[in-house]
Amino acid sequence: MSEPRPSRGPIFLALAATALLLVLAGWGLWRLTSWLEPPPLELPPEALRGSPGLQRFVPSSDRRLLAKLEPRTDLEEAPLVPPEHPFAKTSVTGRVYDMRTQEGVADAEVRVKARFGKPKLGTAPSGEVVVRTRTDGSFALKGLPPGIFTLHVSAAGYVPVDTGIEKYSAVEDDDGFDVGLIPGRAVEGRVLSAAGAPVPGAEVFLLDDEGSKLALGEPTITDPEGRFVIDPVTVDAFELFAHHPEHGSAARSLETGTEPVTAELRLSGGATCEGVVRGPQGPIAGASIVPHMLSVDDGPFVMLQPERARRAITTGPDGRFRWVSGPRGSGAFVTAPGFVRAVVTHRGEGECRLELELEPAANFRGQILSADGQPVERARIDVVAVREGDGDRAFASAESDADGRFELRDARPVGPYELRILHPEHPPFFASERSLDGERIYRLESSVRLLGKLVDAKRGGPITRYHYEVAGPMRRRGEAFSISGSLEVTALIPGHYQVRIEADGYEPTTAEIQLQLGDSAETTIRLAPGGAIVGRVNAPPASGLVVQAWLGVDELAAEAAVNADGNFSLNNLAHGDYTLRVFGHDGDDLVFGSVAGVQVESGEVTQGVEVRLTRETSPDHPATRPVF
């Protein structure tokens, strides 16, 4: 009896399963490689979805990798523009995160508004829209049209951040606009007079930590018991400053830390200044004396921004006023409608009697129009006196309203004056005026746009993150990213421009472009992958060495620090013949060295470069950078 033959069915099933696994593995590998190396871009702009034509006005040190955000449905965020708007379905998404922990900040508030009034967002008359972050810190601005926008980001327990974005005209999304917040702490306390009594209505400022001692932000006003709360402030060291026009000023340093701070400031003053403000027709009632510079005991002068002041001295019906200067002196602006602004100063000692005669001002008014005759809203009009000796009265400024109209009432009628009009959507406008009386109409120049595509010269894909500098009749610079590699710079005047592009991993590239009115052609700029030099310094000191890569005689291409082990790397280099120069100090000795003839090829790494140092003793006059 013969043995039964084994069935072939399981064998065929095993072979089929193996083949299917191989096909799926090959398909997955192809998808992975295609994701790692973007294909040449052939899609029209309206078909692109992903990461936007968007510029960031934040420091380069703040840039982060794209956040992996939770997906959002179309119903979750209402568009910021009407549903029929071309950009109604596009989204600018991002993440608010804690800069110390890198975790998302939930329920943070993101306030978005067009920087110069247009385009309007949402339905509120102010054109401002508020969105809040989700549990992972993500937010979405759905339907953000082209324009320049300000973002105010705040959250409980964090220091608010003001930043901005400029949206390109390309119809595309963004999924990587991240804003970092620094945890804050609260500062509370009391402001007392020299006699120890509470001082209500005193202004309390935070000061910067630079030598200028500039007061930051809006002041906080003390309550009837002299108490104040500032929450939050940064955990870094700051200085508190308080002022009251009838009691003087005081300052106190804040130590670094994260715990809440309680502070008491006791005001001290200099001389009591009494005076009267007059015009050609007699005393001026209602004139304002607004401090702009105040001193404190054994401390610096503090510069204030008068437009932010919430306490000012006002003259009575007889034009008289009384104020207390700082211990070592003070300065203030004296303003009254229809009169030229005057400046009053006092050294803070001795008798202070002031008789101020204000000069009648020009009633300078007019309208700002675009090149096609449309009103220009929120244009800034600066008027600068050409003659010498005018001091603080040489400059005046105004802003146009929704109808493009402006009025300037605190400048002298007689010039000559140089006038300039600034608006981010229009080229700067300059004019000369002999006098500032009467009505004017100023029509801004026509502008042109620089449009381009940034392309990887080797792979053909878009360059999505880059830094640009435009030089010519006008200058522009900034950082930007765009999923399609778009470059867009607006409000330029016609002329010849040089455009320099820098991007991580690529050689810096400069292109020559001629811009003319009515020219909408798009320029393609191809960037070659950058080369790198990796090397070592022989027997380096513990720290403090710098290595430079010079292309030719006078072009510094890159610079980097040498680490404690003597290793260094220089990236994003164009192909060419380089000279490396190393210099630094080892105690009182100057150490330096150089290597010439280092060849770099595009996209390649030149390794094994060694720089030997020589030493030069110079104890009396240590050099900072040797001349090779």
**Residue 384 resides in a domain:** yes
Q: What share of the chain is helix, strand, coil (3-state, %, to 5)?
A: 5, 50, 45
Mean pLDDT lowest among 105-109, 542-546, 604-608: 542-546
**Residue 297 resides in a domain:** yes
- Identify which has the larger pLDDT, 43 or 92: 92
- The predicted pLDDT at position 272 comes to 84
What's the pLDDT band for 24 if we cut at 50, 70, 90? very low
Whether 84 and 54 share a structural domain? yes
Whether 577 and 536 share a structural domain? yes
Whether 79 and 110 share a structural domain? yes
Whether 75 and 104 share a structural domain? yes
- The predicted pLDDT at position 176 comes to 66
Between CA 31 and CA 12 the distance in angstroms is 29
> Is residue 353's pLDDT more than 90?
no
Mean pLDDT lowest among 96-100, 164-168, 221-225, 573-577: 164-168
Region 433-460: mean pLDDT is 89
- Identify which has the larger pLDDT, 66 or 218: 218
Token pair 């200067």 is found at 325
Task: Determine whether 236 is exposed, middle or buried from the number of CB atoms within 10 Å of its CB (0-12, 13-18, 19+).
Answer: exposed
Whether 81 and 175 share a structural domain? yes
- The predicted pLDDT at position 373 comes to 92
Whether 57 and 172 share a structural domain? yes
**Residue 219 resides in a domain:** no
Whether 294 and 404 share a structural domain? no
Q: How many CB atoms lie within 10 A of CB 433?
A: 16
Q: Can you read off the two tokens belonging to residue 109?
A: 């508030």
Whether 342 and 376 share a structural domain? no
For 508-525, the pLDDT digits (tens) are 999 999 998 888 778 999
What's the pLDDT band for 549 if we cut at 50, 70, 90? very high
For 374-389, the pLDDT digits (tens) are 999 888 898 887 765 5
**Residue 514 resides in a domain:** yes
Whether 176 and 68 share a structural domain? yes
> Is residue 548's pLDDT more than 70?
yes
Mean pLDDT lowest among 17-31, 82-96, 369-383, 604-618: 17-31
Q: What is the CATH number of the domain that holds 390?
A: 2.60.40
Give DSSP secondary structure letters for 262-314. Answer: EEEEE-B--PEEEEEEEETTEE-TT-EEEEEEEE-TTS-EEE--GGG-S--EE
- The predicted pLDDT at position 18 comes to 52
pLDDT exceeding 70 applies to what percent of the chain?
81
**Residue 395 resides in a domain:** yes
**Residue 37 resides in a domain:** no
> Is residue 342's pLDDT more than 50?
yes
Does an H or E element contain 20, and which? helix 9-36
> Is residue 207's pLDDT more than 50?
yes
**Residue 214 resides in a domain:** no
Region 46-71: mean pLDDT is 35
> Is residue 624's pLDDT more than 80?
no
Whether 60 and 122 share a structural domain? yes
465-471 β-sheet, strand order: 129-132, 109-114, 147-154, 161-167, 54-56, 476-481, 465-471, 495-502, 509-515
| Contacts of range 349-356, beta carbons closer than 8 Å, 24 or more positions apart | 349/270, 349/271, 350/271, 351/271, 352/271, 352/272, 352/273, 352/274, 352/275, 352/325, 353/273, 353/274, 353/275, 354/273, 354/274, 354/275, 354/276, 355/275, 355/276, 355/278, 356/275, 356/276, 356/277, 356/278
As a whole number, the mean pLDDT across the chain is: 79
Q: What count of residues does the chain have? A: 628
Region 175-204: mean pLDDT is 88
What's the pLDDT band for 570 if we cut at 50, 70, 90? very high
Q: Can you read off the two tokens belonging to residue 552?
A: 């030719």
> Is residue 582's pLDDT more than 80?
yes
- The predicted pLDDT at position 168 comes to 80
Domain final residue, candidates 147, 181, 215: 181
For 395-413, the pLDDT digits (tens) are 778 889 889 999 987 778 8
> Is residue 351's pLDDT more than 80?
no
- The predicted pLDDT at position 65 comes to 31
- The predicted pLDDT at position 479 comes to 82
Mean pLDDT lowest among 164-168, 426-430, 463-467: 164-168
- What backbone phi and psi angles, to 5 degrees, belong to 75? -80, -15
- Residues spanned by the domain of 603: 531-617
Domain final residue, candidates 427, 443, 459: 443
> Is residue 611's pLDDT more than 80?
yes
pLDDT exceeding 90 applies to what percent of the chain?
24
For 28-52, the pLDDT digits (tens) are 433 333 333 333 323 233 323 333 3
Mean pLDDT lowest among 51-60, 138-147, 599-608: 51-60
Q: What is the CATH number of the domain that holds 101?
A: 2.60.40.10
Region 440-454: mean pLDDT is 91
Whether 387 and 349 share a structural domain? no
Domain final residue, candidates 357, 389, 405: 357
**3-class secondary structure, 11:** helix
**Residue 374 resides in a domain:** yes
Whether 98 and 128 share a structural domain? yes
- The predicted pLDDT at position 78 comes to 67
Q: What is the CATH number of the domain that holds 291?
A: 2.60.40.1120
Counted domains in the chain = 5
